[in-house]
Amino acid sequence: MKKIDLLNLKGEKVNELKLNEEIFSITPNDKVLYDAIILARASLRQGTHSTKNRSEVSGGGRKPWRQKGTGHARQGSIRAVQWVGGGRYGTPVPRDYSKKQNRKERRLALKSALSHKFNDNEVIVMEELAFRAPKTKEMMTLLNALKIADKKVLFVVDDFTENVILASRNIPNVALIAANELNVLDLVNSDVVVFTSEAIKKIEEALK
């Protein structure tokens, strides 16, 4: 079992916590992790982009002028792509960007991301995350105590509390997520991941 320091709100070590090696210390599968990141990013795309081609714009039912003898280039419709107000060519159409990945691969990708973070010393575990007041100052004091105030921080908690939500929402480099919503994209986008001890238990229970 891997061990990691368990910290309090002052950033002081109060105990040690054993981590499941099959989750936090596997050999990361970068190919599966890459596929999971692509899937997550693709799922954020709506795919509703659309423009009209020449068959969808209105008008242009007749030939604008006769074929020969006018001095103009020949034209068949005022809704052809070269006309102002005409249809567009080669432009986006609605589509589904979603991709698929089986359950075992999704679990492996999450374990790989967690193992990368642990191997790079980017994991912090706290005994609890609770503030006396819903103030941004409380969160900034904690970030300074952990020496991560200048980093992109992801807090993973077992349960949301109003004080923690209000204390963190005005800090642009801090994100808050529940343990059961942990995902690959948020993990790789953060510089440091801060877990509560209860969140670690939930993650290990879900991924074992």
- How do residues 140-184 score in pLDDT, each as one tens digit? 999 999 999 999 999 999 989 999 999 999 999 999 999 999 999
Full residue range of the structural domain in which residue 127 is found: 2-28+101-207
* Shared domain check, 72 and 105: no
Query: What is the tens place of the pLDDT at every residue in 56-99?
Result: 999 888 899 999 999 999 999 999 999 999 999 988 899 999 99
Same domain, 71 and 146: no
The answer on pLDDT for 1 being more than 90 is no
pLDDT tens, position by position, 99-114: 999 999 999 999 999 9
CA dist list (Å): 141 to 118, 144, 149, 178: 24, 5, 9, 22
Nearest in space to 131 (alpha carbons), one of 181, 182, 176: 176
Tell whether the model's pLDDT for residue 134 goes beyond 80: yes
**What pTM does this model have?**
0.82
Same domain as 82, residue 135: no
